[in-house]
Structure 1
Amino acid sequence: MSSFQESIGRGGAVLHMWNQWAVQILVLTSFSLQVFLFLVGGTRRRGSSTVLRVLLWLAYLTADTVATYTLGHLAITSGSHLHQLSVFWAPFLLLHLGGQDTITAYALEDNRLWLRHLQTLVLQFLGVAYVLYRCLSGSWGLVTAAILMFILGAAKYGDRIWALKCADNIGIDGLTDKYCHKVLNNRYLEVSGMEEEEMVKQGAHILLSICVSQFNDCTLKKTTLYQYKTLEYLVGSKKIYSVIEMELSLMYDMMYTKAGVIHTWYGHGIRLFSVITIVHAFVQFRFFINKDGYRRVDVYITYILVVGAFVLEMTSWIMALGSTWARHFLYIRGWNRLYRVTVSLRRLVNAVGWRMWSGNVGQFNLFKYAQEHASMDMHKLKDLAPPVHISAPTKDLVVNMITKIVARHGGEADGLYSLNQKAENCELPVLDCDFDTRIIIWHIATHAILLWIKDKERQRDDRNYEKAIKTLSNYMVFLLVKHPEMLVAHTSRQLCLEALNLLKFVDTNGLAEYLSQDTLPVQGPLMKNDPCVRGMALAKSLVGNEWERHHLLEVVFGAWVVMLCYAGSHCNRDSHARRLIEQRRRVSNHRVAASRAPLPL
């Protein structure tokens, strides 16, 4: 009985401590989550570790819950148990619900919940108003500061809801204002006189509406003169790939951050009001409020909330004012002095690479996996190799191939979306099969061809082609295994498992010899229509054309580029948008690249 009473006593002590310190713990937890979201929210742009992504996901989900629970706790607690500082903290919780500029949505689906957030805003607005009306009294300075912070919190939460709504309804017409059209149609973007970094970033903003049309599955009505001229120069200067990566970074801003709201007069007005309001709250609390009647820890918590809010808001505003969005705004309005100042400041802090994609893509080679794994369980398939970095020569080869294919089809991009391509005057074998089967067949053929030319003397350009072909081949199979939703509809990863089981019967060392002989390097029953057999037959057919080695590599590379663009053009908007928060953007890159190709030709 005594042990039972002791446990009850300990439980009562814990409950008493919680009742005494619950508000303080919850408020500090809410603030800490906001700091974490501010610091880590933008790391997904370049890719981050799984642990960090999980922590970010937990923080994103927990932040709103903690703030809402704390406001509810304040609302139901009797006034006699709340001191005035606890009530003063309520508007800061509403400010926390407004979130950080670096992350408004963790996933694409979060943008579609803006109506639910609007309902939450109404409820929390009424809840905070109730707490202030019921419990706030005393110093007029404290009352004034609390009311202004209350208005700011509601405005910031509305700011977040508006950003979610804008991200859910991205449109082309509202991207570029009429002033931009009026000015730049007469004075198109003079990218030739810019440094490389500025050329890429300003070019990305000018061409952003074309990128949006790809994500919205809609057709761009008209390409303006300044877009045409800008694109013409960028393609000629071989910077178009960097521009596309920058455009995807801007699309990330529009879909997952407050960029759609910040860079408006309303957005900057809210941020100016927030800085003034928080400074007013600090001055009132620091100089005009008697703090003798409050516990020292509560005073410190209040300072943390006020100073922390100022630092977060001021830092966010400075980042917004120095962003590429703000620089583009200054440029199109001809405010050249301010434009040059912001460019110089960004150069001083070296804010160049944090926006850009990491350039890494996943890899999966069927032959290597079949050799190293006896069990072929689809649920346990792992990446054999770490992601590889896309080199500059590979990017140039891709852009050049897209341009060449478009030119071959009379300047129309439709040629990129047809899987039966012509290689110069020779037509590739027609493969009457589904897209996933085609990937497997070409993957096997590519592996065999690369083995065949491995020991032969070749030039540096050939080595670049080999590396690019291997990267694209392994990447497309990686997508088929890990992200089939990024490919054509009804694509199944099950075909990879079947191919892996069949490759166990293939003598990999005999593949190269098979291309010069007539004996299949197999040790078991393979049917004529099996993808493995068809892949080896395709390789033998291509080698049998007796093309020059460089031309053979160019044909194989062209086939993979076409398949990549075909996948990009047949993948829906949501799949592309979700990949913006991952490292593996290459299909999205080439969907946008394909939309660029016909314009300057």
Structure 2
Amino acid sequence: MELPIPENIKKLWDLWDLRFCILFSLFLQVCLVIFAPWRQRSRRTWLHIFLWSVYLMADWVAAVAIGLITKSQTNPFIAKGNGSIFAFWASFLLLHLGGPDSITSFSLEDNKLWIRHLFGVLLQVFGAVYSLFLTIPNNKLLIPTLIVFFVGTIKYSERTVALYLASLDNFGAIALPEPYAGHDYEAAVAIYSETRSVEAPEQIAITMAANLGNFKDYNPTSESEEMKLLLTAYSLFEDFKGLFVDFLISSNDRESSRKKFLEIESAETSFRLIEYELSLIYQLLHTKVSVVCSRFGLVVRFLSLWSMVVACISFHYLVDKHKLKKFELIVTYVFLIGAIVVDIISGVNLIFSDMFLIDLHQQSWKNHIPG
């Protein structure tokens, strides 16, 4: 039994279902970019319900839109518009499925489903490729479409890798620290190897002590108190992250943590330290920080931004826009400019993120090790 839906409403939906999904997917991405960072600092029920709903709908709507695009291109009875521009939009939907850097999962259970997400990546990428294949050789938007498709595939894959790294199985494998001989071990071995054949043992000891003293004297007093607090929080997080996978903490770590807190003079500073620890935990488990804060991730972020700029320029100057409808042209420009703005916002947030500041400090710390 069919529902008594008026015929004019059916025709209107058949005409606008794809366009509605495209616009709705863009709206959901804007909501995630704006509101996802709030979740880290707020316990408001309405915010969590809203973000949970947007998080689920964002994946669903983008996947449905890709399906509608391929359906409109393969069904001869459905004439909804320019197939080339639809294939272009399908590449943008891969960007939407990749999501913003500020949220990859809503709960720890989502991280466990990284294999299912990987299957979704393969399926949706195949759908976008199939949509593009249907427009060849008459596709006048081939160059910008290929550029956006490449960036969208990378962003979608980044999210899957972030889910895998944050899954408890993998997190447990890296929770235990690697054996650490000390920051002066390599320097001591190098000095010993260079001097043992020409110097007496007493001279070796004096040389090693003098060189290693250069590192011990290194005390970054220019660092702000907030940076020192962040580094302390990171040190404590490294000691206690095994608790998330039911590892036992040694008595030395417990006593060290207790000593650090007893040395803090004010309660406000203690709570600030705990806040930094919780922030690091949240970023590693529910954002892309573990993927982006690496050399490969930084290179990919730089290339993706400039690729979107090139795609926008190529669309503006190399494509005959007179054959496009006004609505299609507006939506495409909104997609292009929106993707560039989101990449810029993500880059700024990355520069000021806790993990990025810690990585910069660690690189600076390594540069002070005598060679």
TM tier, smaller:
0.7 to 0.9
Cα deviation 1:464-491 (Å, max 9, x = unaligned) = xxxxxxxxxxxxxxxxxxxxxxxxxxxx
Deviation of the 1:173 alpha carbon: 4.2
The answer to whether the Cα contact below 8 Å between 1:45 and 1:249 also exists between their aligned partners in 2 is yes
Aligned counterparts of 1:218 and 1:189: Cα–Cα separation in 2: 34
Q: Which runs of 5+ in 2 are unaligned?
A: 186-211
The answer to whether the Cα contact below 8 Å between 2:230 and 2:276 also exists between their aligned partners in 1 is yes
Aligned counterparts of 2:354 and 2:251: Cα–Cα separation in 1: 25
Call closer, same or farther: CA 1:49–1:39 in 2, change over 3 Å: same
Aligned counterparts of 2:181 and 2:19: Cα–Cα separation in 1: 50
Percent identity of equivalent pairs: 29
User: What is the aligned partner in structure 1 of residue 239 from structure 2?
Assistant: 210
State how many pairs are aligned.
326
Counterparts in 2 of 1:215-254, with a 5 A limit? 215-219=244-248, 235-238=262-265, 239-254=269-284
Counterparts in 2 of 1:473-552, with a 5 A limit? none
> Given the alignment of the two structures, is residue 287 of structure 1 paired with residue 317 of structure 2, yes or no?
yes
Call closer, same or farther: CA 1:21–1:179 in 2, change over 3 Å: farther
User: What is the aligned partner in structure 2 of residue 14 from structure 1?
Assistant: 9
Q: Which runs of 5+ in 1 are unaligned?
A: 1-6, 338-601
Deviation of the 1:174 alpha carbon: 6.8
User: What is the aligned partner in structure 2 of residue 260 from structure 1?
Assistant: 290
User: What is the aligned partner in structure 2 of residue 115 from structure 1?
Assistant: 115
Deviation of the 1:89 alpha carbon: 0.3
Call closer, same or farther: CA 1:302–1:220 in 2, change over 3 Å: same
Call closer, same or farther: CA 1:221–1:236 in 2, change over 3 Å: closer
Counterparts in 2 of 1:298-313, with a 5 A limit? 298-313=328-343
Cα deviation 1:93-127 (Å, max 9, x = unaligned) = 11111111111111221111111101111111111
> Given the alignment of the two structures, is residue 70 of structure 1 paired with residue 65 of structure 2, yes or no?
yes
> Given the alignment of the two structures, is residue 150 of structure 1 paired with residue 177 of structure 2, yes or no?
no
Call closer, same or farther: CA 1:26–1:180 in 2, change over 3 Å: farther
> Given the alignment of the two structures, is residue 170 of structure 1 paired with residue 171 of structure 2, yes or no?
yes
> Given the alignment of the two structures, is residue 27 of structure 1 paired with residue 27 of structure 2, yes or no?
no
Call closer, same or farther: CA 1:196–1:231 in 2, change over 3 Å: farther
Counterparts in 2 of 1:36-47, with a 5 A limit? 36-47=31-42
Deviation of the 1:242 alpha carbon: 2.6
Larger radius of gyration: 1
Aligned counterparts of 1:188 and 1:32: Cα–Cα separation in 2: 54
Call closer, same or farther: CA 1:108–1:292 in 2, change over 3 Å: same
Deviation of the 1:22 alpha carbon: 2.1
Aligned counterparts of 2:125 and 2:301: Cα–Cα separation in 1: 20
Q: Alignment partner of 1:292: what SS?
A: helix
User: What is the aligned partner in structure 2 of residue 269 from structure 1?
Assistant: 299
Aligned counterparts of 1:328 and 1:220: Cα–Cα separation in 2: 23
What is the TM-score with the length of structure 2 in the denominator? Answer: 0.78
Deviation of the 1:182 alpha carbon: 3.1
Call closer, same or farther: CA 1:254–1:223 in 2, change over 3 Å: farther
User: What is the aligned partner in structure 2 of residue 393 from structure 1?
Assistant: none
Deviation of the 1:66 alpha carbon: 0.3
What is the TM-score with the length of structure 1 in the denominator? Answer: 0.50
User: What is the aligned partner in structure 2 of residue 504 from structure 1?
Assistant: none
Aligned counterparts of 1:213 and 1:64: Cα–Cα separation in 2: 31
Deviation of the 1:21 alpha carbon: 2.2
Q: Alignment partner of 1:102: what SS?
A: coil
Aligned counterparts of 2:23 and 2:216: Cα–Cα separation in 1: 53
Counterparts in 2 of 1:417-496, with a 5 A limit? none
Call closer, same or farther: CA 1:262–1:222 in 2, change over 3 Å: farther
The answer to whether the Cα contact below 8 Å between 2:92 and 2:148 also exists between their aligned partners in 1 is yes
Aligned counterparts of 1:323 and 1:120: Cα–Cα separation in 2: 29
Deviation of the 1:206 alpha carbon: 2.5
Call closer, same or farther: CA 1:174–1:182 in 2, change over 3 Å: farther
Call closer, same or farther: CA 1:95–1:223 in 2, change over 3 Å: farther
Call closer, same or farther: CA 1:215–1:295 in 2, change over 3 Å: same
Deviation of the 1:12 alpha carbon: 2.1
Q: What is the RMSD computed on CA atoms of the aligned residues?
A: 3.2
Deviation of the 1:59 alpha carbon: 0.4
Deviation of the 1:256 alpha carbon: 1.2
Aligned counterparts of 1:274 and 1:212: Cα–Cα separation in 2: 32
The answer to whether the Cα contact below 8 Å between 2:148 and 2:308 also exists between their aligned partners in 1 is yes
The answer to whether the Cα contact below 8 Å between 2:73 and 2:131 also exists between their aligned partners in 1 is no
Aligned counterparts of 2:263 and 2:220: Cα–Cα separation in 1: 12
1:74 is matched by which residue type in structure 2?
Answer: I
Q: Alignment partner of 1:78: what SS?
A: helix
User: What is the aligned partner in structure 2 of residue 55 from structure 1?
Assistant: 50
Aligned counterparts of 2:361 and 2:258: Cα–Cα separation in 1: 18
More helix by share: 2
Aligned counterparts of 1:11 and 1:180: Cα–Cα separation in 2: 76
Q: Alignment partner of 2:6: what SS?
A: helix
